Structure 1
Amino acid sequence: MKRKFFFRAIGIGLIFTSFSAVAEAPFGGEKDIAYAEKLWKQLEKHNLIGENRTMSAPYEGVHPHGAFLDTIERSFKVEGNTGPVIVKRNYGGEELSKEKVWDSPDEYLQAVTVMYQREGYDPDNNNWFYAKYKPDGSIDTNPKDMKLAGRVGKNMKAGCIACHANAPGEDFVFAHDRYQ
């Protein structure tokens, strides 16, 4: 009798564990969206986005980001965590050039992609929180209508983590190896 109860308890536990794993995707949940909104406010506060933003020199981009990009790095605090942030502004449009982006960035801005390192957030992936915003600051979605905030692409074949895991130096950053 005790043995039957034990196996039933294990079976029920496995079922609930399976349902909870299915119910919560690795990204786009309520907590991810709330954090991405707080992150956007800090980006504004530090002039990394918006009308008075600091720009870097535009350069040719690669898929999936944009035809041209400009990238800025800083460090700041979000909810008690101080960490590096990498802001990549993604530009696109007809007959686009560096000069057009430099002269009229708002006209060509298509998205803002962000990596923010949060201590203890996702040790398997160097603790990066990813977000993709539309130019107005709303969180962008993938073709399945999932919000692109959090562990985007974790354990998947495509997405932020799936791509950035291939960066040299094991820091998930392609441009350098500063964030080991």
Structure 2
Amino acid sequence: MKKLFFVFAVVMLWVTPALADTPDAKALWTTITHEDPYKKWDNWPDHEGIQPGAAPHGPLHEVFVNKAGLSKKGYPKTNGTIIVKENLTKEKKLAAITVMYKVDGYNPEAGNWYWAKFSPDGTVDKAGQVAGCINCHSSRKAQDYIMVSDH
């Protein structure tokens, strides 16, 4: 029995993505760039391709959503939803990557979203319960803090 449990534990560590534990910016970056690359995800059906943006995200952006986020139309989104926004300059150069990651019980007062901002090379600029993100997105609390889609 002990041998079977050990094998199960090793297999679970091998197949479980980095985000299985408490939210962590580095693990989130690894997930969205290596384990489940966001560039292979879809856009919101009502927000496809590069779109005009606004501060603080820049003049242009493109938003990618993982399967969990697209699996349920309406709000609130499913736990495990990850939304990645490429913040682009007017020349369409990548300036930053901002991420919303829905984690059950993480921050109920703000929709259970974990927020992160990365430089293009993956350096963490901000992460966690980022007040600026929460304050701005709270204007769309009824839409689960999602600004750019009504899907």
Contact persistence 2:41–2:66 (CA under 8 A):
no
1:173 to 143, 146, 150: 146
Q: How many residues align?
A: 117
2:122 maps to amino acid: G
Identity of aligned residues (%): 34
2:25 maps to amino acid: A
Judging changes above 3 Å, is the alpha-carbon distance between structure 1 residues 149 and 168 closer, same or farther for their aligned structure 2 residues? closer
CA distance in 1, matches of 2:113, 2:141: 16
Spell out the pairing of 1:5-24 with structure 2 (5 A cutoff): none
CA distance in 2, matches of 1:136, 1:53: 20
Correspondence for 2:66: 74
**2:117 match: secondary structure:** strand
Correspondence for 1:62: 54
Judging changes above 3 Å, is the alpha-carbon distance between structure 1 residues 119 and 160 closer, same or farther for their aligned structure 2 residues? same
CA distance in 2, matches of 1:165, 1:60: 21
Segments of structure 1 that go 5 or more residues without pairing to the other structure are 1-31, 77-81, 102-107, 141-147, 154-158
CA distance in 1, matches of 2:96, 2:133: 14
2:128 to 145, 150, 160: 150
Spell out the pairing of 1:5-154 with structure 2 (5 A cutoff): 35-44=24-33, 45-48=35-38, 57-75=49-67, 83-93=80-90, 96=91, 101=92, 108-140=93-125, 148-153=126-131
**TM-score, length-normalised on structure 1?**
0.57
Q: Residue 47 of structure 1: CA displacement?
A: 1.8
CA RMSD of aligned residues (A): 2.7
Correspondence for 1:7: none
Judging changes above 3 Å, is the alpha-carbon distance between structure 1 residues 165 and 85 closer, same or farther for their aligned structure 2 residues? same
CA distance in 2, matches of 1:53, 1:119: 22
Q: Residue 91 of structure 1: CA displacement?
A: 0.6
CA distance in 2, matches of 1:75, 1:132: 21
CA distance in 1, matches of 2:86, 2:144: 20
Contact persistence 2:98–2:117 (CA under 8 A):
yes
**TM-score, length-normalised on structure 2?**
0.68
1:68 maps to amino acid: L
Q: Which has the larger radius of gyration?
A: 1
Runs of 4+ displaced beyond 2 Å:
52-56, 175-178
Segments of structure 2 that go 5 or more residues without pairing to the other structure are 1-21, 69-78
**1:172 match: secondary structure:** coil
Tell me the alpha carbon deviations over residues 66-111 of structure 1, each in whole angstroms, 9 at most, x when there is no partner: 11100011146xxxxx510110000115xx3xxxx3xxxxxx1000
Contact persistence 1:168–1:174 (CA under 8 A):
no
1:38 maps to amino acid: A
**2:57 match: secondary structure:** coil
